[in-house]
């Protein structure tokens, strides 16, 4: 009898799992102002002193393919990820440790700094384009990747990250994590639901496409010519 009581009490206390929020970040006025006023110079100092440099380099392009490239991602996206690690709604040991002692202002400054670094120019205009990128798949209710991730994969508003120039190892790993629900900080299940629909081969193909970087890439990459995209806008 005693045992049963304890067990049911435990179940009550732990509550339903689905009630946990995927992120505690809301882009309210206060948060937007904090992100907008991030101090790039201070962020640059912090990137050294808080050791971000060790894994992501000062220019945001990681040396190891398991570490994500964060150069040129929007400050709003970077800010959310760092806060998610701090709240542990996204958990990965080295990142949770790296942000532990940072204040919201530090996080804003770091986000501002890495957002000013150059996003890799993608070479993918010349490659064959996976259908999912611009069209998605209505049957599986998968929207076109670029309808959220920017017309050329350069990233969208707020929490929609740039995918261009992402390292392949990290791209595949994080997609697998969405699929397996090991990464759950995507608000409204937007990425988990999509990743679950994709095969390993499709993920591999998408990772190849987005990670291909133009060897002499700079601002004037030729992607602009490919304007017949994003039919799937809603």
Q: Which residues bind ligand HEC (CB under 6 A)?
A: 50-52, 54-56, 67-68, 70, 78, 80-82, 90, 92, 94-95, 98-99, 110, 132, 142-143, 145, 147-149, 159-161, 163, 166, 171, 174-175, 185-186, 190-191, 194, 206
Q: Which two tokens stand for residue 33?
A: 């102002």
Nearer to ligand HEC, 129 or 148 (CB): 148
Nearer to ligand HEC, 6 or 130 (CB): 130
Residue 171 CB, shortest distance to ligand HEC, in Å, is 5
Angle at 16 between CA 15 and CA 21, to 5 degrees: 105
Q: What is the dihedral of CA 51, 22, 25, 174, to 10 degrees?
A: 40
Residue 231 CB, shortest distance to ligand HEC, in Å, is 13
Nearer to ligand HEC, 119 or 121 (CB): 119
Nearer to ligand HEC, 50 or 125 (CB): 50
Give the span between the Cα atoms of 96 and 31, in whole angstroms. Answer: 21
Nearer to ligand HEC, 75 or 121 (CB): 75
Residue 61 CB, shortest distance to ligand HEC, in Å, is 12
- Residue 58 in contact with residue 161, Cβ under 8 Å? no
- Residue 124 in contact with residue 212, Cβ under 8 Å? yes
- Residue 212 in contact with residue 130, Cβ under 8 Å? no
Residue 107 CB, shortest distance to ligand HEC, in Å, is 8
Q: Which two tokens stand for residue 109?
A: 């400054």
Give the span between the Cα atoms of 194 and 213, in whole angstroms. Answer: 24
Q: Which two tokens stand for residue 160?
A: 């929609």
Residue 105 CB, shortest distance to ligand HEC, in Å, is 13
- Residue 47 in contact with residue 53, Cβ under 8 Å? yes
Nearer to ligand HEC, 64 or 226 (CB): 64
Give the span between the Cα atoms of 29 and 10, in whole angstroms. Answer: 39
């Amino acid at each position: 009898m005693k045992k049963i009581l304890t067990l049911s009490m435990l179940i009550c206390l732990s509550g339903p799992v689905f009630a946990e929020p995927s992120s505690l970040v809301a882009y309210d006025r206060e948060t937007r102002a904090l992100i907008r006023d991030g101090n790039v110079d201070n962020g640059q100092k912090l990137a050294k002193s808080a050791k971000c440099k060790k894994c992501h380099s000062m220019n945001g392009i990681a040396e190891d393919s398991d570490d994500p490239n964060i150069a040129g991602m929007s400050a709003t996206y970077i800010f959310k990820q760092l806060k998610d690690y701090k709240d542990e709604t996204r958990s990965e040991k080295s990142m949770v440790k790296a942000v532990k002692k940072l204040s919201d202002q530090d996080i804003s400054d770091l986000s501002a700094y890495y957002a000013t670094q150059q996003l890799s120019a993608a070479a993918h205009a010349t490659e064959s384009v996976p259908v999912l990128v611009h069209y998605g798949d209505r049957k599986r209710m998968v929207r076109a990747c670029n309808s959220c991730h920017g017309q050329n994969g350069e990233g969208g508003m707020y929490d929609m990250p740039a995918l261009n120039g992402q390292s392949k190892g990290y791209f595949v790993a994080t997609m697998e994590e969405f699929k397996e629900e090991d990464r759950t900080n995507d608000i409204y299940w937007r990425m988990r639901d999509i990743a679950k629909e994709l095969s390993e081969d499709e993920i591999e193909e998408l990772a190849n496409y987005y990670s291909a970087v133009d060897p002499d890439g700079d601002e004037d990459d030729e992607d602009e010519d490919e304007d017949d995209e994003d039919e799937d806008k809603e």
